[in-house]
Structure 1
Amino acid sequence: MLFKNLNVVTSQGIKKCDILVENGKIKDIGSFSAKGIDFNGSMTIPSVIDMHVHCRDFNQSYKETVETATMAAISKGVTGIVEMPNTSPPVNNEDIFEERRILFKEKSYCDYGINFSVTDDLSFFNGYKFIKIFLTETTGKLLFKGDLDKLFSYKKPIAVHSDINGIKECVKLSIKYGTKLHVCHVSTKEEIEFLKRYKNENITVEVTPHHLLLPKNSENVKPDLGEKKDREALWKELGKTIDVIASDHAPHTKEEKKKGAYGIPGIETILPLTLDFAFRKKISFETLASLISENPAKIVSNKKGFGIGKDADFTVIEEKEWIVDSKKFYSKSKFSPFDGMKLKGTIKTVILRGEIVYDGETIKKISCKEM
């Protein structure tokens, strides 16, 4: 398969090229005389990965399922997700983890990674690629109560949900052992200033669009939305201290939200909002590529990214304005704090491992893989 006349967005600039795909991988990048699918110079982002997604399912399938969440992802240009473990029942033992893997293999419309939660029993720890610990309150009962020092001594990558106190402790232990640490959804000036000071090559930092955009107390989320000074501090460090933008897609029913449930849907606005930031010059397109494609790929999977031998995952963009309308979401969660917002940048085509899985109207299911 040959895709022609793409303007591929990378952290090094926009590269105009044709891409030759074989067996789902990028075989060559260049300019070829052969005929192929011509995208007429459309802007293209490789390997869009959302590193923070709650697909619900199991006992919470009335809120969301793996199927609906991943269809939502593909419809808005996300070709890979990493799922959080605070499901019901939670992903904190081998049997549930394997059930989750089977569920994703059968139902997912995009590639995926599954986080395993460690609470106190460290005997499971070594067998899992993605580990998540919760040091502060969130949806579910997965607070870590074990030996944090011992956990970090295994030198396996860890993602943490915490406030500033837990972040400080985890950073200290990451530095002590050389353990890779991913700090989820930073939300305050204090957190980002601390991380700016102590961050090294083993520590990565994530922010959500809602912590960048929404004013304090406007939505019930965890961590809480910050004040103006917090949002300004986060914006300042995009593409610097902050490596990743992720959605923290956390669907609920409208009735649950009225009762104070934490979280908002976000998988269908993560790429559109980030594109809007770039089109309106709040960030550069090079920074966009780092935040939503290249850095997540480096953290999550060496199969992803842009280069010969990488998975042929691409999202083709049109520079058109549209208005967010949650009633049209593929997600079961039909509300959004961004409803009615005019955004620049629509999804024209989505390609997953060389196959067109979304053509602007129809979603196609192919066999998806664990990252």
Structure 2
Amino acid sequence: MKSIVIKGAKVYHNGRFQDLEVRTDGPFISQVASRVSTDGARVIDASGLHLFPGIIDVQVHFREPGNTYKEDLESATRACAKGGVTSFCEMPNTSPPATNQKAMDYKLSLGAKKSRVNYSFFVGATNDNLDDLIGIKRVCGIKVFLGASTGDLLVDDMKALERIFAETNKNRVIAFHCEDEAFLRERKHLFEHRSDMRAYTEWRNVEAAYISSHRVVGLARKYQHRAHILHVSSARETELFHPRDTLVTAETSPHHLLLNVDDYDRLGTLGKMNPPLKYREDNAGLWKALQNGRIGVIATDHAPHTLEEKRRGTWKAPAGIPAVENSLALILDASSRGMCTLEQVVQWMCENPARTYAMKRKGFIQPGYDADLTLVDPNAEHVVRNSEQLTKCGWSPWDGQKLRGRALTTIVRGQVVYEDGQVNDDVRGSEIEFAV
């Protein structure tokens, strides 16, 4: 593996962008300084660019095993590389679901063979697999679905949920899909006669999410167990979280920040996901929560389905959208419009994801850390086009949208995996290591 030296970039280091050079040797960053040795190294002239730590997407659904006609680890991680994403945490609602060590070991073997970027996987909780959760190894965390979504995973027995909190490793993150299943079941008949997508949002409303998130926060504090609330979609939920809280943390997604029910007029069922799009005031509230630290992470909830599936109507179309390929570009574009700073993009998409899951050597540009790096041009304008998507499903809800800012080069553990518009399919990522 040839060493790499990056010169000329604004490098994010110790909380700010600086005029520094970075050298990688093997899979690690070896030097960060005003001038580094170029001996035996490939030199990348990055003048005019910004060097980010590699983007870490801690909520994705890559559909393998079981639904590889929608996506697989090869297509998904090629899309990651193009989008500047160097590491991911993948959800367990595959087919079959990943709910025990045997299933986890199989997914890890797939990652080693197929993933172009660094990989990790959640184990899924059920009402009756507590013993598997207690003894599980080599996972990023435990995933709990409190509201039914894609797949068959659901925890709707509150005694089982309390035992998960009480008996699993209290430092291991339990990540929650928070929508109250009983509330949803009671209300669905009120909306099923309608075919418009707004009915879907009115059914799976803010209250459904708030009830569930409130319960999780209470249980986390009762048992002093790490909990992370996924894809927060409403302003009201953010009231439950506190800046600098290390016990209960939260994330939101690009679509909940940038889209709302008004976009159903354009997207129709292509804009269906769980939890669903909310309202303009929720967009504003989520941005505010990122700014004040109540929410610390942006992750995609990349959940691809084919266009044919997505066009089956409000109640039959599956929930989920592809996003991993465009997530960084979307938030860079938001930054170009004054909604956040580039420093905050790094915090929300690199540093805080690594901290949230106690990843070893990830999220920062420091000597000794993994050489996962993303070269960004914050001024590069481009148009998202379905025809250019690398994700297997072949579409994006942002098709036709002009964005400002994108990843130009992606480096995974010292190997250039994306450059000049091409993915290097010889590169393989590595299993992510965790302190817990």
With normalisation by structure 1, the TM-score equals 0.95
Contact 1:5 1:39 in 2 (8 A): yes
Distance of 1:8 and 1:279 partners within structure 2: 18
User: Quick check: 1:329 aligned with 2:345?
Assistant: no
CA-CA distance at 1:33 after TM superposition: 5.7
Contact 1:347 1:360 in 2 (8 A): no
CA-CA distance at 1:17 after TM superposition: 0.8
User: Quick check: 1:142 aligned with 2:153?
Assistant: yes
Distance of 1:192 and 1:22 partners within structure 2: 42
Distance of 2:105 and 2:297 partners within structure 1: 28
Counterpart of 2:329 in structure 1 is: 272
The verdict on how the C-alpha distance between 1:244 and 1:40 changes in structure 2, with shifts beyond 3 A counting, is same
Percent of aligned pairs with the same residue? 35
Contact 2:54 2:411 in 1 (8 A): no
Distance of 1:244 and 1:267 partners within structure 2: 14
Contact 1:10 1:286 in 2 (8 A): no
Counterpart of 1:90 in structure 2 is: 97
Deviations 1:91-150 (A, max 9, x none): 112222221111111000100110100112200113243210000121011111352222
CA-CA distance at 1:57 after TM superposition: 2.2
Amino acid at match of 2:177: H
User: Among 206, 218, 236, which residue is 2:251 paired with?
Assistant: 206
Counterpart of 1:366 in structure 2 is: 427
User: Quick check: 1:6 aligned with 2:17?
Assistant: no
* SS in structure 2 of the partner of residue 237 of structure 1: helix
CA-CA distance at 1:346 after TM superposition: 2.5
Amino acid at match of 2:285: A
Deviations 1:42-87 (A, max 9, x none): 2111121011111002220100001100000001110011101111
Counterpart of 2:175 in structure 1 is: 159
Amino acid at match of 1:359: E
- Structure 1 stretches of 5 or more lacking a match? none
Counterpart of 2:290 in structure 1 is: 238
CA-CA distance at 1:151 after TM superposition: 1.2
User: Among 106, 109, 127, which residue is 1:102 paired with?
Assistant: 109
User: Among 18, 22, 25, which residue is 2:21 paired with?
Assistant: 18
Amino acid at match of 2:308: E
The verdict on how the C-alpha distance between 1:11 and 1:245 changes in structure 2, with shifts beyond 3 A counting, is farther
Distance of 1:165 and 1:352 partners within structure 2: 40
Counterpart of 1:169 in structure 2 is: 215
Amino acid at match of 1:21: T
User: Quick check: 1:63 aligned with 2:116?
Assistant: no
CA-CA distance at 1:235 after TM superposition: 1.4
User: Among 371, 383, 389, which residue is 1:312 paired with?
Assistant: 371
* SS in structure 2 of the partner of residue 79 of structure 1: strand
CA-CA distance at 1:195 after TM superposition: 2.3
User: Among 124, 130, 133, which residue is 1:122 paired with?
Assistant: 130
User: Among 74, 77, 97, which residue is 2:81 paired with?
Assistant: 74
Counterpart of 1:113 in structure 2 is: 120
Deviations 1:249-295 (A, max 9, x none): 11001111012110110011111101111122210112111110110
Contact 2:56 2:363 in 1 (8 A): no
CA-CA distance at 1:41 after TM superposition: 4.2
* SS in structure 2 of the partner of residue 169 of structure 1: helix
Counterpart of 1:254 in structure 2 is: 307
Distance of 2:23 and 2:224 partners within structure 1: 39
Contact 1:82 1:114 in 2 (8 A): yes
CA-CA distance at 1:10 after TM superposition: 5.3
Aligned-residue CA RMSD in angstroms?
1.7
Larger-Rg structure: 2
Distance of 2:124 and 2:406 partners within structure 1: 35
Q: How many residues align?
A: 370
Distance of 1:265 and 1:23 partners within structure 2: 32
The verdict on how the C-alpha distance between 1:171 and 1:33 changes in structure 2, with shifts beyond 3 A counting, is closer
Distance of 1:250 and 1:23 partners within structure 2: 33
Contact 1:11 1:289 in 2 (8 A): no
User: Quick check: 1:221 aligned with 2:273?
Assistant: yes
CA-CA distance at 1:23 after TM superposition: 2.3
CA-CA distance at 1:200 after TM superposition: 2.0
Moved more, 144-153 or 216-225: 144-153
Moved more, 58-67 or 90-99: 90-99
Distance of 2:391 and 2:327 partners within structure 1: 13
CA-CA distance at 1:11 after TM superposition: 7.3
- Structure 2 stretches of 5 or more lacking a match? 179-208, 265-270
Deviations 1:218-268 (A, max 9, x none): 221100111122111111111411111111111001111012110110011
Contact 1:9 1:285 in 2 (8 A): no
Distance of 1:178 and 1:47 partners within structure 2: 31
Contact 1:53 1:250 in 2 (8 A): yes
Moved more, 231-240 or 241-250: 231-240
The verdict on how the C-alpha distance between 1:115 and 1:33 changes in structure 2, with shifts beyond 3 A counting, is closer
Amino acid at match of 2:407: I
With normalisation by structure 2, the TM-score equals 0.81
Amino acid at match of 1:17: L
Counterpart of 1:298 in structure 2 is: 355
Counterpart of 2:30 in structure 1 is: 27
Contact 2:241 2:249 in 1 (8 A): no
Distance of 2:214 and 2:45 partners within structure 1: 50
Amino acid at match of 2:9: L
